[in-house]
Chain A
Amino acid sequence: MNITQLRNCLLVLVQHNCVQGFKIFQEAVGPNPPKVLTSYLGLTDNILHRMRFPKFLSIVRDELGEEAEALLEGLLEHGRLTLEQVVQRAAARAGKAESEVELPLKQTFAALVRSHYIERCPASEPTVAPKAIEPPKKVPRGPNSKGRAAKVAAIKNLESDYDRIVSVAAALDTERFRMPSSLEEVGETGGGDVSMTDPVVPGQKRKRDALAMDAKTMAIVDEKEVLWRANYEELIRKLRHQACVAQVKTRIDAAAGSVLAAMLEMTRSSETTSKPQVSAPLSMTVIMQAVTMTPEGRTMTMERIRGALHQMAQETVGFITRTGEGGSSYIISGGHRVTEIWTGKLSNIQALDDEGADGTKTGQLNVVLMTIAGMAMVQLKDARELLYRLLKEQYVVVQEVAKTAEHSAQKSIYLWNINWDVVKLLVLDDMYHAAGNLQQRLSHELEQEQEVLELLKQIQAAKAAGAETHVTLTQRQHEQVKRIRRVASILEASLLKLDNAILLFYDF
């Protein structure tokens, strides 16, 4: 690959938010002068989010409508765009003049910014302190559990550097979601003054005039120079809330689900981290108001809402916790809720068999073989075989407690335990492999049918142009086209469903 191609590849990756450049200042060493090095970090989270773009589009469509979906599609397609480019794109696709589409488009844009679904792009080349960056340590590979634990620790080290660089590049939330000055009055009043607004305190006429030019320049800069992109954090948060509400609906009932949905909507704006463990507290009155505003909760009575809250707050369930004076407020315990979901998922994994379903209950304790066999209601011999299989796959760990100094196998007690972090990583690893296999299989199938697809493209192209074509498909080719369409749909849908599980284990 030559240098020009490499540059183009990096430009495209930065444009699509897959790579973040950063500067490291290297101090002078000996005769060498101090220099500034530019390095690049692959943003693995953003790269994996590309699998979920269809889900992001459907979220925005359900909440804000088709125009918002089309706008977001443009941002996802091109990675980053200015407001001016967004308007041009919409005008070109609609076949209309820019002035015609500008106003409704800017209203939609403002709605997306207010919902935090789009944000201003971070700095292209922030400076990072050199000591913070260490070369990635070689991850030790080994079949034993010690190797696994070391791998987990190494991954956490890498993550801390990654987070540091990303946080240096990111701006404050106030800046990220600052509305372009030309749109500050758009949308709220339904088509107000689109031209520049006057931010100066009234009474200072001279300064106002001087600053009016700055405001105008700022408006132009905001439209033409500021790049906007989709805010993956907010979209993932929305998906997380949807998963929690679905879990509550299955565990309790639909009414409780509606109440939780309303509570999550109220606390969404106050969530500062990407994976909060607890939400802000909400009082009873606020919850009532929020629920009655939703279409599902409008018909719910106060007693019904109170009952749903009481059910969710029960200790055995633990979805929400009562807090505050006299237990008047409720906190959604996000961490526990998510753990419940994926613990339930883990217990369904085929490899764990019957033993696993009961093993989850005993996961907090070290147990002996007899106890496990008793709880799982399997033969001792079968329990031993299953445990050895699980040990081989590293889902469980064994600890030897020797009765005598000689450490003979017959006189030692073996305690079995599950390390949830390791198991979670194992399952996540398997799922990533599965997703990779799905992608490979899809590309393999499409490659096999390349000839027929080319013919189909020709026919479609001819039809689109209105010209006659002499290319036709035989019966066998028709069958092939039907088959490949069905196969491709199944593989792509399976990938999207697998992605739900990946989200649960990693992003939620």
Chain B
Amino acid sequence: MAFRGGRGGRGRGRGGRGFPVMRDEDGMALIPKSRDGPPPLFPTLENLPPLPDLTPKDEALVSRRRHLESAWNVSPYYIEKPKAKSVGLAAEIERYSDRYKLSVQTKRPPLSSVLKLASAYFPAELLGQGNQKRNQRADGAQWTLQTGSAKNDLQRLDQLASLEQKRMKDGEDKEDVDKEEKKKKEGEEGDDDDDEEKLDDEDEEFGDDDYAQNFGFDDDEDYLDMDDGGDDGEREQLTPKPLMVPSLIKSKAKDFVRSASFVTRHETGDKKHWPLPHATSLTQMDVLALLKLRQGARMPPTDETSQECIENLTPKEIETIADKGLDLPNLDLPWPTSLLTTPTNRLGHFGPSSGGIDTDHSGLS
């Protein structure tokens, strides 16, 4: 047995030695070096020239260059690429590093504060829908962004800390419910995202059956009150989130509107009028207009965002919103809770899966 193994080994060795070997100009064999991982981005070079000595003139030029670059980075001219993770599941996950990240994005003034948006200075097609009004700040702060950026970031950090303390105080009594809701929320998000993906595919498959006719029929009269009460508590108990930037809120509102407009698509396609308890004329503009109204009435501090406005709505205001036929944009869930009713779940293919959301609304309170 050992003999056979040896012979086999020798035979294999012979076979290996038979491959042609690469040689360079001098006749030396070239053996490719085995690499662990990808090749280095900046491989080390031999025979490098000596490092240059920096004169004071060079230092002065370098400092001017850095000054200009730092000014451009905080200016309104710095257009940030929208993050791929601003929608969908990844955006729902809170990251610890994002919470305290010093971000200049929310502090950047709009382009209209420094650009003269008139046809004399720019091609007409770039000016969009009519000339935008210049929002020049009265204190001339757009000229001193660079010098004041440190102070603004610190102020922002202080406000974040105070907001967190406030939320932690209110949430002390409801810790257990908070944990349960978190678990369900994670399950919901996983299922809801799957359902959202299915939604577009199965949009066309939805036909004229009983499920379609009964879709949206909400026979639970107390649903809204319980839901709002539950949602209020839920929002207050949730762990502090990072302040949401307006673009994120808008993308959330779009998700919300898309899911609400699912109903309208079928209505127009099948020319049926479904007895929906909520108005189907829900638009993103309605929600944002309402939030702005809210902001205007309370004259909030400069850093207050729409997220806080939603969270600080009183029950009476919530009722008013409901009466107008608008659902409160629950920015935690991609699906509006008004659609998560029993008839919806019966349909199965676009409602959340059975393992996820508890269709009994007591689960949300």
8 contacting pairs across A/B (C-beta < 8 A): A7-B128, A53-B68, A82-B116, A92-B144, A454-B102, A461-B153, A493-B61, A496-B58
A window 44-73: CB within 8 A of B: 53-55, 57-58, 73
Q: Which residues of B contact A465 (CB under 8 A)?
A: 150-151, 154
Question: Across the interface, do B52 and A21 meet the contact criterion of CB distance under 8 Å?
Answer: no
Asked whether any CB of chain A lies closer than 8 Å to the CB of B26, the reply is no
Asked whether any CB of chain A lies closer than 8 Å to the CB of B42, the reply is yes
Asked whether any CB of chain B lies closer than 8 Å to the CB of A497, the reply is yes
Question: Across the interface, do B111 and A12 meet the contact criterion of CB distance under 8 Å?
Answer: yes
A130 to B67, CA, bound (A): 43
B window 105-123: CB within 8 A of A: 111, 114-117, 119-123
Q: Which residues of A contact B121 (CB under 8 A)?
A: 80, 121, 124, 227
Q: Which residues of B contact A88 (CB under 8 A)?
A: 140, 143
A490 to B79, CA, bound (A): 29
A interface majority secondary structure: helix
Q: Assuming the A-B contacts A227-B116, A444-B41, A458-B102, are A7 and B61 also in contact, with contact meaning beta carbons closer than 8 angstroms in the complex?
A: no
Asked whether any CB of chain B lies closer than 8 Å to the CB of A233, the reply is no
- The contact string, 1 if C-beta is below 8 Å from chain A, for chain B 33-64, is 00000000110000000011010011111101
Question: In the complex, given contacts A11-B126, A492-B66, what are 7 additional A-B residue pairs having Cβ atoms less than 8 angstroms apart?
Answer: A4-B128, A5-B82, A54-B62, A121-B121, A125-B124, A227-B121, A492-B65
A415 to B141, CA, bound (A): 68
> Smallest Cβ distance from A70 to chain B, in angstroms?
11
> Smallest Cβ distance from A382 to chain B, in angstroms?
15
- Name A9's contact: one of B67, B79, B124, B141 (CB within 8 Å): B79
* Most chain B beta carbons < 10 A, residue from A9, A78, A454, A458: A78
Q: Which of B69-77, B183-191, B333-341 sits within the interface?
A: B69-77
Q: Assuming the A-B contacts A88-B143, A461-B153, are A489 and B68 also in contact, with contact meaning beta carbons closer than 8 angstroms in the complex?
A: no
- Name A57's contact: one of B59, B64, B75, B79 (CB within 8 Å): B64
> Smallest Cβ distance from A385 to chain B, in angstroms?
11
Q: Which residues of B contact A11 (CB under 8 A)?
A: 111, 115, 117, 122, 126
- Specify the chain B residue showing the minimal Cβ separation from A350: B49
- Name A92's contact: one of B54, B79, B143 (CB within 8 Å): B143
A219 to B122, CA, bound (A): 22
How many chain B residues touch A (CB < 8 A): the figure is 47
Asked whether any CB of chain A lies closer than 8 Å to the CB of B125, the reply is yes
- Name B42's contact: one of A10, A92, A444 (CB within 8 Å): A444
- Name B61's contact: one of A38, A55, A460, A462 (CB within 8 Å): A55
Q: Which residues of B contact A225 (CB under 8 A)?
A: 116, 120
A55 to B68, CA, bound (A): 12
- Specify the chain A residue showing the minimal Cβ separation from B101: A454
A7 to B117, CA, bound (A): 12
A8 to B144, CA, bound (A): 22
Q: Assuming the A-B contacts A5-B79, A14-B123, are A54 and B72 also in contact, with contact meaning beta carbons closer than 8 angstroms in the complex?
A: no
A444 to B154, CA, bound (A): 28
